[in-house]
Amino acid sequence: MKRLITALDTSDLRQAKAWAKALAPHVGALKLGLEFFLAHGRDGYAAMDGVPIFLDLKLHDIPNTVAGAVRSILPLQPAMLTVHASGGPDMVAAAKDAASRVPNPPLILAVTVLTSLNQAGLQAIGLKRSVEEQVTLLAEMAISRGADGLVCSPLEVPVLRKTLGRSVKLVVPGIRPPGADRGDQARTMTPWEAVQAGADWIVVGRPITASADPAAAASAIAMEIG
């Protein structure tokens, strides 16, 4: 699967369809998140047909509820599905167990620390560890309880590769091509740097979707990461 994933963060179905059509040749998957899915649900999802979907719903609830949510999503057959690692070990295990009951289950990816959070942001929610320590702790826990991979910032990719090895899938947002606007992302790298660091997939949203020519922007990033 190609390494570029584009985030279609919009509530405009026509816009999402146009992006999907233009970007499909350049991406390994399209990422649909809360903005799109809460606006258009299953019908909107179905309209994206033909491209693997990374369904980024960042589930975070008690284990029983998350397992039920995963079961509700399985008929859509996403390639990847996210849960928050901070939901805890039993929640991650419940998500994986629920997903494992179908052929070709989605990869269960655990979100460690949101790439919009920096050290001050962690402190504001009462976490005293460094970002890297917090990410590593959550990552080891989530993988030990069955997660197939992790969503992490590019800055943590080297330490996670070292700690967890090659088989863990690392999906990495917080990507900004040289000179691009960082927006609300705090921990960023360029596409090439992130892949060099060991990312399996990079997730790029606004640098592609907000550009005048999204297909050209995606193609340029795809070329850059080879």
- Measured from the CB atom, is 37 or 98 closer to ligand C5P? 37
- Residue 145, both tokens: 């309880």
CB of 34 to ligand C5P, least distance (A): 8
Minimum distance of ligand C5P from residue 193's CB (angstroms): 15
Position 206 contacts ligand C5P (CB under 6 A): yes
How many CB atoms are closer than 10 A to CB 171? 24
Site mask for ligand C5P (CB under 6 A), range 136-175, x = bound: ---------------x---------------------xx-
Where does residue 186 fall: left (phi above 0), alpha (psi -120 to 50 degrees), or beta otherwise? alpha
Return the residue of 25, 41, 158, 183 that touches ligand C5P, per CB under 6 A: 183
**CA separation for the pair 224, 9 (Å, rounded):** 23
Query: Residue 63: helix, strand or coil by DSSP?
Result: helix
Enumerate residues 42-101 that contact ligand C5P by CB under 6 A: 56
Beta strands in 60-199 (DSSP E): 80-84, 107-111, 149-151, 169-172
Please identify, using beta-carbon distances, which residue of 42 and 182 lies nearer to ligand C5P.
182
Helix (H, G, I), strand (E, B) or coil at 204: strand
Which residues lie near ligand C5P (CB under 6 A)? 7, 9, 31, 33, 56, 111, 114-115, 151, 173-174, 183, 185, 203-207
